[in-house]
Amino acid sequence: MPASLQSYNGKGRSANKIYYRIQPYLSCGKRVTIRLGTGKKQATVALNAIDDLIDSTVASVEPSATTKQWLENVASESVCKSLVRFKVVEEMPQRFHVTQRLTTISMLADEYVRTRCAGLDSETVVIYNKARKNLLECFGDVDIATLTKRDGREFWRWLLEEQDYAENTAKHRLRLARAIFELGIEDELIALNPFRARGLSVSQTAAEKEYVEQRTIEKVKKHCPSFEWKLLFTLCRKVSVRVPSEIREFTWDDVDWANNQMLIHSPKTRRIGKSARMVPIFPDVRACLEELMNSDEAAKDYVFSKLRHDSNPGTMAKKIVKRANIEPWKNFFNSLRATAETDLMDEFGLRRACQWAGNSAGTAMKNYALVKKTDFTDSGTQLPMEKPATEEPRTAQKSAAKSAAINEVDAKSDAESSGTDSHEFAFNQRKNALPQICLEGQCVLVDDIGLEPTTSTMSTWRSSQLS
């Protein structure tokens, strides 16, 4: 029995469109519905082709060349899926056979470095390659689709325990691995990022940094092996520079002695249009700059002619701190940067501090605003919630005055109670003059106080009245 072609109206936004469907009879006699979409001419061609396919299946012969061409080149994916589901054809046409592309960790990391790291500083590319190396050492060059969130947690444990990385370094490598796999999600190679598992935090807040006192830096500077190291500690503590990226391009031409300011190059923010920033030359920094410039260590071009070649100055910096019998603080250079920006915010305000440090206000308050001990114990300053020691609450003043008055009366009463017999005689006279009432067969004296039980204060007052 031939299939029937039917038209119907769409719904919602497609209510003004006309769609077509066919209802053919399968070889088993069952009637099914196959939706074809819009266009009567295309629907008619599909009707004839599907009829030919069903008849060929029943007769166990090959369909016509026209039908084969329609199936391989014209039929939509939804129609072909319906034909496979109803067993009109055995498999989908070749053009719908999507071969799963194998993407390994090395392929994804290389693609990330090639596309995302273009224009970045060469040292940044080196760091991404280190993260690539960590991934390959931990998992091997496996397909990225095989990694799970459990593998992400294992990578974090592997960095801390087997590689013995500091927590800050481990967070940095985890952050880079997460960024690399985000590219796989954007390219629809994977559905989930294995390094976004619960409990894997890559952020570094101000609570993870430590405020470094100025006197600590002064002690460290006495043990610095060169003027460059002395300037580095001073610069980090006063100006809030990024180490080592922002000291590599610092030249003597960037120092404006006349206007007391200097230019700090920032490779990290160069891609967003903030390649450099002007910062003031503070007195401590100026003294160290002049000291270095007048020494034999000074080079013609770069200020840090030797340290700029050191890819990890933190190792030597911690050794210098230990020479001063000081325990190195956590998050070494980040803590110095946060300390400097905190002091800049306190002294010059948030706007200027952010301009000189090269970050936004939100970043400054989240990552670099530290709590200092002097915020609570600053000499000569009291917190707003505190009141001067000499100022007492009004209720306390009234209570103290009342207590003093009672004590005075009690003292007077004690003195009078040890007086002469004339006082006792006067009291007896007063007692005889008081009226009496009878309660339950007993006579009770009625004083001005009434029938309430007397207290020591009342007794004192009554004694004073009797006297």
One-character DSSP codes across 13-55: GGTT-EEEEEE-B-TTS-B--EEEES-HHHHHHHHHHHHHHHH
CA gap 241, 289 in Å, rounded? 15
What pLDDT does residue 236 have?
A: 96
pLDDT exceeds 80 at position 461: no
What pLDDT does residue 465 have?
A: 55
CA gap 89, 62 in Å, rounded? 11
pLDDT exceeds 50 at position 238: yes
Instruction: Kindly give, in sequence order, each residue whose CB lies less than 8 Å from that of residue 164, ignoring residues fewer than 6 positions away.
Output: none
CATH level 3 topology of 208-377:
hpI Integrase; Chain A (1.10.443)
Q: How much of the chain, in percent, has pLDDT values that exceed 90? A: 45
pLDDT exceeds 80 at position 447: no
What pLDDT does residue 120 have?
A: 74
pLDDT exceeds 60 at position 459: no
Strand order in the sheet with 34-37: 4-9, 18-23, 34-37
CA atoms within a 13 Å half-sphere pointing along the CA-CB vector of 169:
16
What pLDDT does residue 128 have?
A: 93
Q: How much of the chain, in percent, has pLDDT values that exceed 70? A: 79
The secondary structure element, H or E, covering residue 185 is helix 167-186
pLDDT in tens, 261-314: 999 999 888 878 889 999 999 999 999 999 999 999 999 999 999 999 988 899
More confident residue, 394 or 353: 353
Instruction: Kindly give, in sequence order, each residue whose CB lies less than 8 Å from that of residue 88, ignoring residues fewer than 6 positions away.
Output: 26, 50, 53, 54, 57
Q: Do the Cβ atoms of 357 and 368 come closer than 8 Å? A: yes
Q: In the chain, list all ranges with CATH 1.10.150.130.
A: 105-203
What pLDDT does residue 235 have?
A: 96
Q: Which of 222, 211, 214 is nearest to 320 (CA)?
A: 222
Q: Is the bond preceding 328 in cis, omega lying within 30 degrees of 0?
A: no
More confident residue, 14 or 160: 160
Could you tell me the pTM of the whole model? 0.56
CATH level 3 topology of 105-203:
DNA polymerase; domain 1 (1.10.150)
Q: In the chain, list all ranges with CATH 1.10.443.10.
A: 208-377
What pLDDT does residue 440 have?
A: 46
CA gap 235, 246 in Å, rounded? 11
